């Protein structure tokens, strides 16, 4: 399986996938930290976090897969959402929370 197949499998078989630097417990850049905090604030039950620093093939491959040059990258139900700036904007206007609810990724109540 080539790296594009691995990435496609990750984003299509998990409701929420965040490609980031580090882990949710120990983000290794401010943008990744922001992305994790936004997802926590939305009440996301489960996120598959992929540490791009642990695998250079994934780190380069995700940029090619999305045609997006930066990390972090958020996927919801296989759809590329964007990086931390886009996540912040969507969080502030309520769009991100709605997407996460529609994906069944948020604890209600």
Binding residues for [2Fe-2S] cluster: 29
Burial of residue 17 (CB within 10 Å: 0-12, 13-18, 19+) is: buried
Helices (H) and strands (E) in the chain, counts: 5, 4
Q: What single-letter DSSP state applies at residue 20?
A: E
Residues constituting the chain: 109
| Known binding residues | 29
């Amino acid at each position: 399986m080539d790296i594009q197949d691995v990435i496609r499998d990750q984003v299509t078989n998990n409701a929420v996938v965040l490609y980031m630097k580090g882990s949710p417990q120990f983000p290794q850049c401010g943008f990744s930290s922001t992305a994790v905090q936004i997802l926590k604030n939305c009440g996301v039950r489960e996120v598959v976090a992929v540490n791009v620093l642990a695998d250079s093939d994934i780190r380069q491959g995700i940029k090619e897969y999305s045609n997006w040059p930066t990390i972090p990258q958020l996927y919801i139900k296989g759809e590329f959402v964007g990086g931390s700036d886009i996540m912040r904007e969507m969080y502030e206007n309520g769009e991100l929370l709605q997407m996460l609810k529609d994906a069944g990724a948020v604890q209600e109540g």
